[in-house]
Structure 1
Amino acid sequence: MTSTTTAGRPHGADSEVGRLRTVVLHRPGPELKRLTPRNNDKLLFDGIPWVARAQEEHDAFAEALRERDVEVLYLTELLTEALESEVARNHAITSALSGLHLGDTMRSYLGRFLADASPEELTGYLTAGIRNDEVRGGFGLVTSLLASDDFLVDPLPNLLFTRDSSVWVRDRVAVTALAMPARKRETQLTDLVYSEHPRFRGTMKIHGWHHEYVEGGDVLLLAPGVLAVGVGERTTPAGVERLARQVFHAGLAHTVLAVPITQERATMHLDTVCTMVDVDKIIMYPNVADSLRAHAVTLADPAEAHADPGEMRLQVAEAEPFLVAAAKAMGIDALHQIDTGLDPVTAEREQWDDGNNTLALAPRVAVAYERNVETNDRLEAAGIEVVRIAGSELGSGRGGPRCMSCPVSRDPLAV
């Protein structure tokens, strides 16, 4: 992997379990205080979190990473620094005001208002949103007819889950395309960070927020050259196809496993079903383990495909059991499954509480929510060191340690 950082550590990752060096987090902020019983469903939260406690839990999570010599970067700090760029400011303001509900009068007023804000203030408006009763101008039909507490610019509480809006594949970053309307602006802001922040300037990007839907929670780097991508509620077959073409064209992977998952809230991403905890071990929800299947996608041999010279043809294999297809692609005898919970009922409870959603800090070391007691016991019985963190409030948006972290730098695995 090519070094693209001035901080002394190369950016990039070729696995889920290489030693973690740098990670991007988002500390819960004012955007969570914007959640109400009226809007939490629209904004994809199952409850109203106690924000102060969520911040305490997140601070403890970040400190646990620092204690393992992981550099912690905060998304809003990166965004504020990127917004020093006039190009970034203009893009951010334009995307924030693109909603058709604003009308020309309010859009014009807010455009001037945001243009006058400092980078730090602009970050606050873009992430915490702007309510109708918080503006002091732009008076027209829109502001007159909307309720005082309606949002002109929606808050982004799901910024907490930094994994979804970008994924590093070796030394390139895939800026993803988020499917849910409440999250579309997140990936646009992430794109600005990678484009305009001095630390990331020059980073080569793949995919993009304007392409077919692919979310980072669905992308697992099983091994160097092998990606598994969930296809379900958030990531579409067309998104996987485009991502596969891009990683093959750039020489970043030789196999992409397309893994259909149930389109339900409990299994919104592949990483709610399974995550890697060692080079050959995966924690997996046992209630779906027997039914989880995968299509291996590879480049077709041009001589056999009868394709035009230079045309990239994909070869899609028949579906196989996920663990079988994964082991074949990874070139190992078996990918060993560690079950969530000890029985079907416990497994269902702990899967809902993100028991599968672990963040590997190194081979055989993983961060997990402390409340998933039986799953953590099973991990330790399998030789995995578990770094336990609290998550009673952090989990209200349905995400665990992996969801809340975007690895920017991992040590490469030996191949």
Structure 2
Amino acid sequence: MSTNPTPGDRPTHGADSEVGRLGTVMLHRPGVELKRLTPRNNDRLLFDGIPWVARAQDEHDAFAAALRDRGVEVLYLMDLLTETLAAEEVRHVAITTALAGLHIGDTMRRWLGPMLSDASPAELATHLTAGIRNDEVRGGFGLVTSLLPDYDFLIDPLPNLLFTRDSSVWIRDHVTITSLAMPARARETQLTELIYTRHPRFAGTPRLHGWDTEHVEGGDVLLLAPGVLAIGVGERTTPAGAEQLAREVFGAGLAHTVLAVPIAQERATMHLDTVCTMVDVDKIVMYPNVADSLTAYAVTRAGGPDADDDLNLHVADAEHFLVAAAKAMGIDTLHQIDTGLDPVTAEREQWDDGNNTLAIAPRVAVAYERNDETNDRLEDAGIEVVRIAGSELGSGRGGPRCMSCPIARAPLG
């Protein structure tokens, strides 16, 4: 369960890297929302298959246990959401937002509103995440409920809540509320924003961005080093989103360089962290089939880091990603560890989230056990690999990094 510390003993939140020792992480244990996936809706809800939910839960429990065994505090999104929904004004915002869909209609909206208002915080959290099907309502009868098939959802489930990295990112002591691009995921960040703005644990936390601004997804944001961010720009994060977040972090003094990294707009490379993730202060595991072509545009404040105007940005010419990253990080070389040993194996293991590792300390990373060759290469490079099962968890295209939002990491140095 999550905790509600008093202001005097509230833990320090924040992260300035991808590899500082992990102190606190937010996960979402697979729940009823995954049981709502069917062959009719899994594509629309961004899953490549129908997961075996009980096995996915077992795999996720083992993931959480592996983190706890390393001293990591694990918070669960549903616990935080339920506690947040105890406040009446928060419930009103959550219900109003959930019922804003134009497909519901006024008749059903007028009926669902009071029904959700009467639910307990735990029941409301379940309705908002697992959704409500047309055949589950017992009122509000009108054209909508009469003409929609029984199996259609009035409030869609949120199976991608599993991937907590996407809906928020901590940059130093600020939390970034992201804006998810796909309609199936839009409500996730609305709920995340409620948690960070209204849960007692996060009272007073400074925030960036927001769910209703330009599209930026957490899987595209890598904290390469203190003061250096890489932002993937592709299928999910837009150029405007990357530009806006750059302005915000410069204005708050959280970074001196943002690397905008173009990535292919396709399912296999939906986020930058499907291509590369940090496993040490100077080591990155990377998909070799795109490594040679991956470039970055270094973005800084025009006039330098102390300039008064954060609206004017300087965008450098594109360079090879590893070169631009090393320059920004102030190191000689950012060492690349390849996924797999040959192009075919690399493609298979990249698809199976071989690149999507979660560092829990420098040179210690959690990875799916099935990516044998990538894990062997990590160990050959001096990285301790904590292997976890992911045969069912991976059906939504996400690995250990996707499934975790670091809330507290120890500073580097």
Residue aligning to 2:165: 163
Residue aligning to 2:211: 209
The yes-or-no answer on 1:236 pairing with 2:238 is yes
- Contact residue 282 and residue 334 of structure 2 kept, 8 A: yes
- Contact residue 177 and residue 210 of structure 1 kept, 8 A: yes
Secondary structure of 2:278's partner? Answer: strand
Change (3 A) 1:182 1:390: same
- Distance in structure 2 (CA, Å) of the matches to 1:104 and 1:80: 27
Read off the aligned partner of 1:389 and give its amino acid letter: I
Distance apart, 1:120 and its partner CA: 0.2
Distance apart, 1:261 and its partner CA: 0.1
Residue aligning to 1:324: 323
Distance apart, 1:85 and its partner CA: 1.3
The yes-or-no answer on 1:375 pairing with 2:377 is no
- Contact residue 6 and residue 199 of structure 1 kept, 8 A: no
Secondary structure of 1:199's partner? Answer: helix
- Distance in structure 2 (CA, Å) of the matches to 1:311 and 1:404: 33
Question: Which of 276, 279, 294 is 1:277 aligned to?
Answer: 279
The yes-or-no answer on 1:410 pairing with 2:409 is yes
The yes-or-no answer on 1:245 pairing with 2:247 is yes
- Distance in structure 2 (CA, Å) of the matches to 1:7 and 1:376: 39
The yes-or-no answer on 1:339 pairing with 2:322 is no
- Contact residue 5 and residue 11 of structure 1 kept, 8 A: no
- Distance in structure 2 (CA, Å) of the matches to 1:302 and 1:167: 25
Read off the aligned partner of 1:52 and give its amino acid letter: A
Secondary structure of 1:235's partner? Answer: coil
- Distance in structure 2 (CA, Å) of the matches to 1:4 and 1:161: 29
Structure 1: runs of 5+ lacking an equivalent: none
Residue aligning to 1:71: 73
Change (3 A) 1:6 1:199: farther
Question: Which of 124, 131, 139 is 1:137 aligned to?
Answer: 139
Secondary structure of 2:175's partner? Answer: strand
Read off the aligned partner of 2:136 and give its amino acid letter: E
- Contact residue 170 and residue 406 of structure 2 kept, 8 A: yes
The yes-or-no answer on 1:291 pairing with 2:290 is no
- Distance in structure 1 (CA, Å) of the matches to 2:70 and 2:304: 47
- Contact residue 379 and residue 385 of structure 2 kept, 8 A: yes
Question: Which of 100, 103, 106 is 1:104 aligned to?
Answer: 106
Read off the aligned partner of 2:224 and give its amino acid letter: L
- Distance in structure 1 (CA, Å) of the matches to 2:251 and 2:150: 51
Residue aligning to 2:351: 352
After TM superposition, list the pairs within 5 Å mapping 1:48-67 onto structure 2: 48-67=50-69
Distance apart, 1:9 and its partner CA: 3.1
Read off the aligned partner of 1:56 and give its amino acid letter: D
- Distance in structure 1 (CA, Å) of the matches to 2:209 and 2:149: 38
- Contact residue 285 and residue 337 of structure 2 kept, 8 A: yes
Distance apart, 1:302 and its partner CA: 7.5
Change (3 A) 1:286 1:34: same
- Distance in structure 2 (CA, Å) of the matches to 1:79 and 1:282: 34
- Distance in structure 2 (CA, Å) of the matches to 1:302 and 1:68: 40
- Distance in structure 1 (CA, Å) of the matches to 2:47 and 2:294: 27
Secondary structure of 1:107's partner? Answer: helix
Q: CA RMSD in A?
A: 1.5
- Distance in structure 2 (CA, Å) of the matches to 1:411 and 1:4: 22
Residue aligning to 2:262: 260
Distance apart, 1:313 and its partner CA: 0.8
Distance apart, 1:6 and its partner CA: 6.1
- Distance in structure 1 (CA, Å) of the matches to 2:130 and 2:280: 37
Q: Give CA-to-partner distance per residue, 1:222-256, whole Å, 9 cap, x none.
A: 00000000000000000000000000000000000
Secondary structure of 2:201's partner? Answer: coil
- Distance in structure 2 (CA, Å) of the matches to 1:241 and 1:311: 11
The yes-or-no answer on 1:173 pairing with 2:175 is yes
Secondary structure of 2:145's partner? Answer: helix
Question: Which of 80, 89, 92 is 2:91 aligned to?
Answer: 89
Question: Which of 222, 225, 228 is 2:224 aligned to?
Answer: 222
- Distance in structure 2 (CA, Å) of the matches to 1:81 and 1:249: 32
- Distance in structure 1 (CA, Å) of the matches to 2:216 and 2:349: 26
Distance apart, 1:312 and its partner CA: 2.9
Distance apart, 1:87 and its partner CA: 2.0
Identical counterparts, % of pairs = 79
After TM superposition, the score normalised by the length of structure 2 is: 0.97
Read off the aligned partner of 1:187 and give its amino acid letter: T
- Distance in structure 1 (CA, Å) of the matches to 2:7 and 2:108: 41
The yes-or-no answer on 1:24 pairing with 2:23 is no
Read off the aligned partner of 1:174 and give its amino acid letter: T
The yes-or-no answer on 1:385 pairing with 2:387 is no
Change (3 A) 1:184 1:225: same
Distance apart, 1:372 and its partner CA: 0.1
Change (3 A) 1:364 1:34: same
After TM superposition, the score normalised by the length of structure 1 is: 0.97
Distance apart, 1:149 and its partner CA: 1.2
- Contact residue 4 and residue 10 of structure 1 kept, 8 A: no
Read off the aligned partner of 1:251 and give its amino acid letter: G
- Contact residue 10 and residue 201 of structure 2 kept, 8 A: no
- Distance in structure 1 (CA, Å) of the matches to 2:192 and 2:350: 28
- Distance in structure 1 (CA, Å) of the matches to 2:386 and 2:241: 34
Read off the aligned partner of 1:271 and give its amino acid letter: D
Residue aligning to 2:396: 397
